[in-house]
Amino acid sequence: MQITEVEITGKTAAKLGLTADEFEKIKAVLGRTPNFVELSVYSVMWSEHCSYKNSIKWLKTLPREGKRLLVGAGEENAGLVDIGDGIACAFKIESHNHPSAIEPYQGAATGVGGIHRDIFTMGARPIAALNSLRFGNPDLKNMKNLVKGVVKGIGDYGNSFGVPTVAGEVYFNDCYNQNILVNAMSVGIVRIGETVSACADGPGNPVFIVGSRTGKDGIHGATFASADLHEESHEDLPAVQVGDPFQEKLLLEASLEAIKTGAIVGMQDMGAAGITCSTSEMSAKSGTGMRIDLSKVPTRQANMQAWEILLSESQERMLIVGHAGQEQPLYDVFEKWDLECVQIGEVTDTGLLEYFHEGEKVAEVPAESLVLGGGAPVYDREYTKPTYFSLVSQYHVNKVKSPENLTEAARKLFSQPNLVSKRWVYEQYDSMVRTNNLSTNAPSDAAVVRIKGSKKSLAVTVDCNSAYVYADPYVGGMIAVAEAARNIVCTGAVPVAITNCLNFGNPYNPEVYYQFVNALRGMGEACRKFNTPVTGGNVSFYNQSIVGDRTEPVYPTPTIGMLGILEESSHHTTLNFKAEGDAIYMLGNCYNDLGSSEYLRSVVGVKHSPAPVFELHEEFEIQQLVKSLIRRKWLRSAHDVSDGGLFTNLMESAIAGGLGFNIETVDTFRKDCFLFGESQSRVVITVAEDREDEFQNYLMNNNVSFTKLGEVFGTEVVIDDENFGSVGEWKEIFDNTLGEKFE
């Protein structure tokens, strides 16, 4: 083959993000020096974003097997779980952090589009979307613009595409001031046996590109996602893709219809690294190769070079391998939906990817050498305990003064952006399209999505308190999984599997890598306890900013997306108070603990403290108890104690039900710890007055720790006989605080 005239050196490789050792490895694989096109191919496929070279060792330690799993983690574009009745659920969460930090609207929008394509490229129809968003100080002008852009991007794309956004979380912390996090999750359903694999079986089979034309947007986007943000990152703006939700809607319907023709062998969406990634991963999976003529790829711009076509991350595109002789049905389907379907090559038996452009072979590389699990490098990075742990160890609750005015402390706490309603955000999302969302008028700890034609529903949630993970990565990783499971259980469902989006700083930083390794240790232990295997997900390193001469990693943020199954609609349990006189109980143990609480950070001003009290077995037992109580139909409401502690928990249930409460604290605990501490493994439930005796006997017979707090009462908030004001007053704070910041 012909080599480009430009001399390829280690310096060229370094500019593309490859190390000197990696450059030498590429030369050894090829038996020669690569040309620029080939080096570009390796640079994106061996980037962290595509190869997971710094994380795969530890990802493999997570539990990845379960009786409901239909495909293993990483085997397909998304996880696939058997939910019964002949139906499978495909679900996945991924990040779009750096693009959103540079161009928030398109960055967030294309993140939504990309995750939905991962679902319907498997043959599943997306029925729900979720997101987890992390922003910096909301009072900063630039941050306000980022928040508005991200929220509008998610809303515009999702609403136009026609999939409801049913749940999510929004956090603010100064650590995200330069590097926001935008994690998007999609959930879809498909009949078992009607899925499509991302494979390239059958030498001689045709290879098609379908959907949008290829442009210069998104080139080297995978490399961009695998580098630090810095003050000049705005100059990388061309790496941000541009999305078209209406085109994606057409592509969804056309893809699902094309699958029904039986003419498709395999299909994969073109996300990170575009044609390069799709051709290499599909070929490597099947042990085949491909001959691709890049001149046949429909382009939006004239005179695009071969490497630009290969690396473009233009949105709304798929690569399809069809059955030879069955090309016409595919052409007919995509023509019906007014989408281009062009054969650009064929499958071969060589194991090589051969790319041609205008009659010239511009690259020839072994497919296996490019991919995760094949020839892509794998590293085992060193790690050391973070130095800030010494500050954490200096904390003691006795050093924290009790508030002089509990009402004022409660009001200041409840006004924090992390605790108030995110109504300003979610009102920009369509949550009711397709009419399957059962949570809009009946709020519960997890969102509930009906499956039409089945008695079952899905319960879905995203969870992670990154402050806990920062304080103790191991415990914080466990809590992220445990809280997700607790939300599913409090909703009346059974947790079955997770997907994760692991957002961390630079893996070459030993302290960051310590956070990563230990967070995964904690996650893995919790997943094994709750029997929720990991179906797949995304690792996003390099979430930090270089500002002047200092580097600032974000808090370690392993976001958990969890799927649960609600077997019967009668099990659906909501969080709102139902009736005056209902008894309020707290299940689980309380402690004199303020560790890593929102109260300690935002009201007291202590940044470094331990993670809240957590014991995995205790958590498991509480969740088993709640499951049992829901199935006995004893609970009027259930709501887990998490961010903001017991006070915030009670206020959320009161506001949702329009009813107040009258409770008493327990003398053995400091009032600020009792009300504002975030010790884990606690659930607040309400029980009808006439069921109390039976309920209490059951708890005592099962040796369960519980506290009767008081009762649902009127429309006032009363604690220890002190009136904290009306529910209506607190609702004003809850509903309007965030909107007032951004409007």
Annotated catalytic residues are 49, 96
The answer to whether 651 touches 730, Cβ cutoff 8 Å, is yes
> 3-class SS at 637?
strand
The answer to whether 502 touches 55, Cβ cutoff 8 Å, is yes
The DSSP output letter for 17 is T
Q: Which of 375, 350, 115 is nearest to 243 (CA)?
A: 115
Angle at 138 between CA 437 and CA 505, to 5 degrees: 85
Pairing of strands 87-95, 79-84: antiparallel
Strand partners, 547: 550
The answer to whether 348 touches 289, Cβ cutoff 8 Å, is yes
Residue count of the chain, please give it: 743
> 3-class SS at 32?
coil
Residue 94 CA to residue 502 CA, distance in Å, equals 9
Q: What is the DSSP string of 420-471?
A: S--HHHHTTS---GGG-B-SSSS--SSEEEE-TTSS-EEEEEEE--HHHHHH
Residue type, 340: E
Angle at 48 between CA 45 and CA 50, to 5 degrees: 40
Tokens (6 digits) for 162? 């026609």
CA 67 from centroid of its chain's CA atoms: 23
Angle at 619 between CA 613 and CA 623, to 5 degrees: 145
How far CA 10 is from CA of 22, 42, 228, 647, in Å, comes to: 9, 13, 21, 59
Q: What is the DSSP string of 132-180?
A: EEEES-TTSHHHHHHHHHHHHHHHHHHHHHT--EEEEEEEE-GGGSSS-
Strand partners, 73: none
Residue 653 CA to residue 639 CA, distance in Å, equals 8
What are the percentages of helix, strand and coil residues in the chain, rounded to 5?
A: 40, 25, 35
Which ranges in 339-417 belong to alpha helices (H)? 389-393, 406-414
Tokens (6 digits) for 452? 């039409």
Residue 682 CA to residue 700 CA, distance in Å, equals 17
Residue type, 161: F
Neighbours of 90 (CB within 10 A): 28
Provide CB contacts within 8 A for 634, sequence distance 6+: 687, 691, 694, 695, 698
> 3-class SS at 319?
strand
Strand partners, 92: 186
Residue 742 CA to residue 144 CA, distance in Å, equals 6
374 burial via Cβ count (<10 Å: 0-12, 13-18, 19+): middle
Residue type, 349: D
If DSSP states are collapsed to H, E and C, what string results for 195-213?
A: CCCCCCCCCCCEEEEEECC
Residue 672 phi, psi dihedral angles, 5° rounding: -70, -35
The answer to whether 670 touches 720, Cβ cutoff 8 Å, is no
Longest Cα pair distance anywhere in the chain, in angstroms?
Answer: 86
